[in-house]
A and B are shown apart, each in its own frame.
Chain A
Amino acid sequence: MVAGLAIGAIYGLVGIGYTVVFNATRVFNLAQGDLVMVGVMGSYLTLVVWKLPWVAALVIVLAGVAAIAAAEERFVVRPFLKKSGAASFGWFIATLGFSAVLEAVVAILFGHRPIVAIPSPLSLSGLHIGSVQLGYRDLLVIGTFVVVIVILDLFYSKSWLGQAMRGTAEDREAASLRGINPISMSRTAFIMAGLVAAIAGFVIAPITFSDPNIGLSFTLKGFLALAIGGFGSIRGAVVGGLTLGVCEQLFDAYVSSNYEILVGLILVLLVLTIRPEGLFRSTVARTV
Chain B
Amino acid sequence: MLLCKTRWGRLVTTLIWLAIGLALPVVYGNGVEKLGQLDYILSLVMVGIGLNIVLGFAGQIFLGPSALFAAGGYASAVAATHYTSAQNIYAMCLISVVVSVILAAVIAALTLRVGGFYLGMVTLFIALVIPVVAGQWSLTGGQSGLSLLTILTFTQKPSGYALYVVGVGIVAVMAGFAWAVRSSRLGRRFGSIMASEDLATSIGVAPYWTKLASFLLAAIPIGIAGGYYVYSQQFISPDSVTVQTSIYILAGLVVGGAGTILGPIVGVALVGIAIELLNSFNQYEGLVYGAVLILVAILMPTGIMGVLRDLLARFRPSAMAPPSLEELAAKMGGDTAGGTDAADALAQRVAPAETDTPPLVVMGARRRFGGVMAVDGVDLTVERGRIHALVGPNGSGKTTLLNLITGYYSLDGGSITVGDKRLDTLKGTVPVSRMGIARTFQTPKLNQFETALGNVFAGADRTSLGPLLGTLFHTPRARRDDRKAMAASFVALGDVGLVTNAFDMAGLIPHGTQRLLEIARAMALRPMFVLLDEPAAGLSPAEAEVFKDAVRMMARAGLGVLIVEHNLPIVFDIADEVTVLDEGQVIATGTPAEVSRDPVVVRVYIGRQRLDRPGGEGSSTATLAPGAT
B287 lies within 8 A of A101 (CB)? yes
Please tell me which one of the listed residues A76, A89, A273, A286 contacts residue B61 in the complex, with CB atoms under 8 A apart.
Answer: A89
Cβ–Cβ < 8 Å partners of A265 in chain B = 125-126, 129
**A90–B59 alpha-carbon span in the complex (Å):** 12
A268 in the interface, Cβ–Cβ < 8 Å?
yes
CB proximity of A276 to chain B, nearest CB, Å: 5
- Among A103-111, A146-154, A200-208, the one that faces the other chain is A103-111
What is the predominant secondary structure among interface residues of chain B facing chain A?
helix
B114 lies within 8 A of A96 (CB)? no
Question: In residues 104-137 of chain B, which contact A (Cβ within 8 Å)?
Answer: 110-111, 113-114, 116-118, 120-122, 124-126, 128-129, 132-133, 136
Cβ–Cβ < 8 Å partners of B251 in chain A = 93, 97
**A265–B123 alpha-carbon span in the complex (Å):** 10
**A231–B117 alpha-carbon span in the complex (Å):** 11
Interface centre among A80, A90, A92, A224 (most CB of B within 10 A): A92
A93 lies within 8 A of B250 (CB)? yes
Interface centre among B254, B403, B408 (most CB of A within 10 A): B254
Since A97-B291, A108-B287 are in contact, a sample of 12 more A-B pairs with Cβ atoms closer than 8 Å, ordered by chain A residue number, is A79-B298, A88-B301, A91-B297, A93-B251, A94-B293, A97-B297, A103-B290, A104-B284, A224-B121, A259-B132, A264-B125, A288-B198
CB proximity of A267 to chain B, nearest CB, Å: 11
A258 in the interface, Cβ–Cβ < 8 Å?
yes
B291 lies within 8 A of A223 (CB)? no
Cβ–Cβ < 8 Å partners of B190 in chain A = none
Please tell me which one of the listed residues A98, A111, A259, A276 contacts residue B294 in the complex, with CB atoms under 8 A apart.
Answer: A98
**A261–B285 alpha-carbon span in the complex (Å):** 27
Cβ–Cβ < 8 Å partners of A288 in chain B = 198, 399, 403, 408, 441-442, 533
Cβ–Cβ < 8 Å partners of A186 in chain B = none
Question: In residues 228-259 of chain A, which contact B (Cβ within 8 Å)?
Answer: 231, 258-259
Cβ–Cβ < 8 Å partners of A261 in chain B = 128-129, 132-133
Cβ–Cβ < 8 Å partners of A94 in chain B = 293-294, 297-298
B508 in the interface, Cβ–Cβ < 8 Å?
no
Ordered by A's residue number, 20 sampled pairs between the chains whose C-beta atoms are within 8 Å are: A88-B301, A92-B117, A93-B254, A93-B293, A94-B293, A100-B293, A101-B291, A103-B286, A108-B284, A227-B122, A259-B132, A261-B133, A262-B133, A265-B126, A265-B129, A269-B110, A285-B369, A285-B409, A286-B408, A288-B441
B125 lies within 8 A of A223 (CB)? yes
Question: In residues 61-115 of chain A, which contact B (Cβ within 8 Å)?
Answer: 75-76, 79-80, 88-94, 96-105, 107-108, 111
Cβ–Cβ < 8 Å partners of A258 in chain B = 136
CB proximity of B252 to chain A, nearest CB, Å: 12
In the complex, which residue of chain B has the Cβ closest to the Cβ of A268? B122
Known: A261-B128, A272-B111, A288-B399. A96 touches B247 (CB 8 A): yes
B118 lies within 8 A of A227 (CB)? yes
B117 lies within 8 A of A28 (CB)? yes
B125 lies within 8 A of A96 (CB)? no
Cβ–Cβ < 8 Å partners of A105 in chain B = 287
CB proximity of A285 to chain B, nearest CB, Å: 6
Cβ–Cβ < 8 Å partners of A108 in chain B = 283-284, 287
Which residues of B line the A interface, CB within 8 A?
A: 61, 110-111, 113-114, 116-118, 120-122, 124-126, 128-129, 132-133, 136, 198, 243, 247, 250-251, 254, 283-287, 289-294, 296-298, 301, 369, 399, 403, 408-409, 441-442, 533
**A158–B409 alpha-carbon span in the complex (Å):** 34
**A276–B116 alpha-carbon span in the complex (Å):** 13
Cβ–Cβ < 8 Å partners of B121 in chain A = 28, 220, 223-224, 227
Cβ–Cβ < 8 Å partners of A101 in chain B = 286-287, 290-291, 294
Please tell me which one of the listed residues B124, B294, B408 contacts residue A97 in the complex, with CB atoms under 8 A apart.
Answer: B294
Cβ–Cβ < 8 Å partners of B116 in chain A = 89
**A216–B251 alpha-carbon span in the complex (Å):** 16
**A98–B111 alpha-carbon span in the complex (Å):** 26
Cβ–Cβ < 8 Å partners of A102 in chain B = 290
**A114–B126 alpha-carbon span in the complex (Å):** 30
**A262–B292 alpha-carbon span in the complex (Å):** 33
What is the predominant secondary structure among interface residues of chain A facing chain B?
helix
Question: In residues 13-27 of chain A, which contact B (Cβ within 8 Å)?
Answer: none
B286 lies within 8 A of A107 (CB)? yes
Known: A268-B122, A288-B403. A97 touches B117 (CB 8 A): no
In the complex, which residue of chain A has the Cβ closest to the Cβ of B136? A258
A100 lies within 8 A of B125 (CB)? no
CB proximity of A98 to chain B, nearest CB, Å: 6
A276 lies within 8 A of B114 (CB)? yes
In the complex, which residue of chain A has the Cβ closest to the Cβ of B118? A227
CB proximity of A201 to chain B, nearest CB, Å: 20
Question: In residues 262-288 of chain A, which contact B (Cβ within 8 Å)?
Answer: 262, 264-265, 268-269, 272-273, 276, 285-286, 288
CB proximity of B625 to chain A, nearest CB, Å: 33
Please tell me which one of the listed residues A98, A223, A231, A262 contacts residue B129 in the complex, with CB atoms under 8 A apart.
Answer: A262
**A214–B110 alpha-carbon span in the complex (Å):** 27
A272 lies within 8 A of B113 (CB)? yes
**A100–B121 alpha-carbon span in the complex (Å):** 16
**A93–B247 alpha-carbon span in the complex (Å):** 9
In the complex, which residue of chain A has the Cβ closest to the Cβ of B253? A93
**A268–B124 alpha-carbon span in the complex (Å):** 13
Known: A89-B61, A285-B369. A100 touches B132 (CB 8 A): no
9 nearest A-B pairs in the assembled complex, by CB-CB distance = A97-B293, A100-B290, A104-B286, A101-B290, A104-B287, A97-B294, A93-B297, A94-B297, A223-B121
Cβ–Cβ < 8 Å partners of B286 in chain A = 100-101, 103-104, 107
Cβ–Cβ < 8 Å partners of A220 in chain B = 121, 124-125, 128
**A259–B129 alpha-carbon span in the complex (Å):** 9
Cβ–Cβ < 8 Å partners of A262 in chain B = 129, 133
In the complex, which residue of chain B has the Cβ closest to the Cβ of A75? B294
A90 lies within 8 A of B125 (CB)? no
CB proximity of B135 to chain A, nearest CB, Å: 9
In the complex, which residue of chain B has the Cβ closest to the Cβ of A220? B125
CB proximity of A237 to chain B, nearest CB, Å: 14
**A258–B135 alpha-carbon span in the complex (Å):** 9
Cβ–Cβ < 8 Å partners of B118 in chain A = 227, 231
B294 lies within 8 A of A268 (CB)? no
**A257–B547 alpha-carbon span in the complex (Å):** 67
A259 lies within 8 A of B136 (CB)? yes
Question: In residues 147-170 of chain A, which contact B (Cβ within 8 Å)?
Answer: none
B125 lies within 8 A of A224 (CB)? yes
Cβ–Cβ < 8 Å partners of B285 in chain A = 104
**A93–B297 alpha-carbon span in the complex (Å):** 6
Cβ–Cβ < 8 Å partners of B298 in chain A = 76, 79-80, 90, 94
CB proximity of A73 to chain B, nearest CB, Å: 13
**A105–B409 alpha-carbon span in the complex (Å):** 50
CB proximity of A248 to chain B, nearest CB, Å: 13
CB proximity of B263 to chain A, nearest CB, Å: 14
Cβ–Cβ < 8 Å partners of A89 in chain B = 61, 116-117, 120
Cβ–Cβ < 8 Å partners of B369 in chain A = 285
CB proximity of A139 to chain B, nearest CB, Å: 29
In the complex, which residue of chain B has the Cβ closest to the Cβ of A256? B136
